[in-house]
Structure 1
């Protein structure tokens, strides 16, 4: 019936065109524009109908025009999602602004998505903050699934998560915990922020694995505090609701300034990374000039820089990819541990407000300083 209607419209238009006064140019133009608009609307209607016919989406709440279900989600997503699962089942759709989300809540479906069909669902939809943190998705977490992602994963797993590095990590953790206990012992009777203590211990382990140095002495109270602010700031922005993520056409404007803030924090981390990379490069050049063979154990950054210099190798890394991988490890390996530790301590101590820093005053129970890490 739609094709018959279109045929009648076209026939009518041709007849009017042939019988109309040739001097009436305005009428011809108006008629032509009307026909083009009608044809375009008809084609859009057909395309939209065909598209909807091919997509089979699970059930879900309707929400509001333009906003979708966004106004009803609330601050505690897990509670909202649990309530929706009771109404719509273990899998349901959810429109958050202009973004379509599929929520899976049953263990069987999660297993199917993450293990049985992992390659199908490997790609993620990165947020604006994630793209700004990883230089446009150049890391393992947000890079699109494909040959390049497999190379990055192989490098990360074979080197960073090798048995030798995991053994070294255990030894480093043990040594840093002993140093932390010794540091606490020296501050008996004074207030200590638990989150800062855990962060310093964890960042020392991560930095030692990455480039073979730690924060000690004055650096703990200076660089360590500032570095934690930077990492915590990035971590908070990664989880902050951003209107650009729900309405992609607004991303270019960065209305909330999330991407600008992330880039400012990344610039602070880059200063540290650039100085460390320069030191590694100078050490490498000095080693070549002396003709000496370096038999020392390579840290992770040294391994990555060597991959950067292999121009003919398929596993060659750009400086941007190296920085993205290092930032991944620093941010993910430190702030997650600190957040978890603070939450557990807050639960144990029945702290009234988990989001506030947790302080404690250490009191000695042992008289022998050696037992506190000496």
Structure 2
């Protein structure tokens, strides 16, 4: 009977056992559907994998195609995990407003375990007292309007440095500039100065290009399909090595965060900083005996990880998509440049105080968020109890995916949805702050991204500066190919030719 100990035989028995469970569950659900608890429609699942095979390399697009067949609310089985997908503003409102509390939880995941310090960050923490305290910390201490405004000089200084760098490149006669490099480097410098108090040299980062690739790796791995998340019994397989990659990238940033915190602790021993950054604020709370929220080193690391990944990669990706659409649609560039010239002139660069008067620029950014949302499926939610939504019963514990990418292309909501037309937002009250379910770029409700004000301000400011200081052109056609992750970066960088537009011969 030694053959029973064979790994292949044991795997076979495991698969048979899972098949029996699958048949029992699907039969039970089928019987439930005959009563009042009717599940939303959806494709018939396969044994073991459920509907995982239908997601493809770009799940947001695959789910949008399925929604065209099954409707704006669907029920899928991703492995053994029941999943509900909302693909219309009305359904998004039902889940994220009417039933916001029920769907305020986060499902456990390899990403939360390996990249978010056992889900100790704000984005992945399960709903409960811990999450409420961390959310309160971010909203009331770290990402307030006052604190965001206090870092305005940092943003303006770094953007000015980026403009000069691009001007120097153009003066050297460089044919084309890879826009991804200066944009990513800019957002990295801004975020690092906000939480770390300084821009880090290439040496301190172990190489700037490599470090930015590691930040991009976080966002990519945060959106991949980890087999163990959906078929726990097969977690040991670590399909495509995603868990190993998560552990490797976490080790890189954990060492960086330790050095960052140690530098702050040593600096505070010698002399308290006159210009405290976000790590200083967190250390103040960690050292306070009266602080309402107790903060430890691991909490500081988790918060910095959130800021680094979302603040650097998500902002840079959105700016790159905005420039993509502006280059594909030169009439948009011309109109935006004209608006900025009327407000600012051509003898100085844009400041953040100018942005309030640039209505068309805000329309350009909204249209970018509509077509290229930073998180196409948002971060997955999980229900805490059963409820009725859209005439269907949603049982406890399924995951919720809100396909904001599909909502942004819904022809029943938007005229010419595939066209980049900023004019559609002129005179419109629709914004990206979560009040309008046609445009949920940052989510809404309890689990909305707390860094929305900072992210939007960076995107507006950088796009304004790039098109005001330079006229951009590309040779040949520019594609819109994507790479799926938690966000949707361009598959290939933009290579464009900048031409200086100011009356002065160099940046003022």
1:256 partner SS: helix
Aligned to 2:320: 342
Count of aligned residue pairs for this structure pair: 322
Query: CA 1:49–1:110 in structure 2 vs 1: closer, same or farther (change >3 Å)?
Result: closer
Please give the alpha-carbon distance, in whole angstroms, between the structure 2 residues aligned to 1:251 and 1:313.
40
Correspondence for 1:270 among 254, 273, 292:
254
Query: Normalised by the size of structure 1, how large is the TM-score?
Result: 0.77
Give the deviation of 1:367 after TM superposition: 6.2
Equivalent-residue separation in structure 1 for 2:29 and 2:76 (angstroms): 22
| Aligned pair partner of 2:214 in 230, 233, 243 | 230
Deviation by residue 1:127-181 (Cα, 9 ceiling, x = unmatched): 3133211011111111011111111011101122212212123332222111100
Q: Answer with 1 or 2: which has the greater Rg.
A: 1
SS in structure 1 at match of 2:39: coil
CA distance in 2, matches of 1:295, 1:285: 10
Hey, what does 1:351 align to over in structure 2? 478
Q: What is the CA-CA distance between 1:322 and the residue it aligns to?
A: 1.1
Corresponding position of 2:382: none
Helix, strand or coil at the partner of 1:187? helix
Distance in 1 (alpha carbons) for counterparts of 2:215 and 2:114: 14
Distance change >3 Å, CA 295–CA 365, structure 1 → 2: closer
TM-score for the superposition, normalised by structure 2: 0.58
Q: Per-residue deviation at 1:109?
A: 2.3
Q: Do residues 327 (structure 1) and 305 (structure 2) align?
A: yes
Q: Distance in 1 between matches of 2:45 and 2:115?
A: 32
Aligned to 1:303: 281
**Equivalent residue, structure 2, for 1:102:** 84
State the Cα distance separating 1:96 from its structure 2 match: 1.6
Distance 1:92 1:364 in 2: 51
Alpha carbons of structure 1 residues 51 and 62: separation in structure 2 relative to 1, 3 Å: closer
Quick check: which one's helix share is greater? Answer: 1
Please give the alpha-carbon distance, in whole angstroms, between the structure 1 residues aligned to 2:148 and 2:24: 58
Tell me the SS of whatever aligns to 1:65. coil
Question: In 1, are the aligned partners of 2:107 and 2:126 still within 8 Å (CA)?
Answer: no
Aligned to 1:74: 56
Give me the whole-angstrom Cα distance separating, in 2, the residues matched to 1:271 and 1:295: 23
CA gap 1:312/1:221 in 2 versus in 1, 3 angstroms: closer
- Secondary structure at the aligned position of 2:240 is classed as coil
Contact 1:200 1:220 in 2 (8 A): no
Q: Distance in 2 between matches of 1:355 and 1:275?
A: 33
230, 243, 246: which one pairs with 1:246? 230
User: Which residue does the alignment assign to 2:385?
Assistant: none
The 8 Å contact of residues 129 and 258 in structure 1, kept in 2 or not, is answered as no
Residues 127/351 of structure 1: CA separation in 2 closer, same or farther (3 Å cut):
farther
* TM-align CA RMSD: 2.9
Partner of 1:6: none
Of structures 1 and 2, the one scoring higher in RCO (CA 8 A, sep 6+) is 2
Which residue matches 2:131? 149
Q: Partners of 1:221 and 1:272 in 2: how far apart?
A: 8
Rounded Cα–Cα distance in structure 2 between residues aligned with 1:138 and 1:195: 31
- 1:221-253 deviations in Å (ceiling 9; x for gaps): 973222101101121222222222221222244
| Cross-structure match for 1:11 | none
SS of residue paired to 2:293:
coil
Per the alignment, residue 360 of structure 1 pairs with: 496
CA distance in 1, matches of 2:122, 2:478: 36
C-alpha separation in 2, matches of 1:63 and 1:286: 63
**1:56 shift after superposition:** 4.5
Structure 2 CA distance for aligned equivalents of residues 65 and 159 of structure 1: 49
Residue range with higher mean Cα deviation, 258-267 or 308-317:
308-317
Does 2:103 match 1:135?
no
Matched position secondary structure for 2:85: strand
CA distance in 1, matches of 2:499, 2:206: 25
Number of the residue aligned with 1:209: 194
Alignment of 1:116-131 (within 5 A): 116-131=98-113
State the shift of 1:199 in Å.
0.8
Q: Is the 8 A contact 1:138 1:321 kept in 2?
A: yes
Which residue number in structure 1 is paired with residue 184 of structure 2? 199
Distance 1:224 1:369, change over 3 A: farther
Cα pair 2:205 2:211 within 8 Å, conserved: no
CA distance 1:182–1:117, shift in 2 (3 Å): same
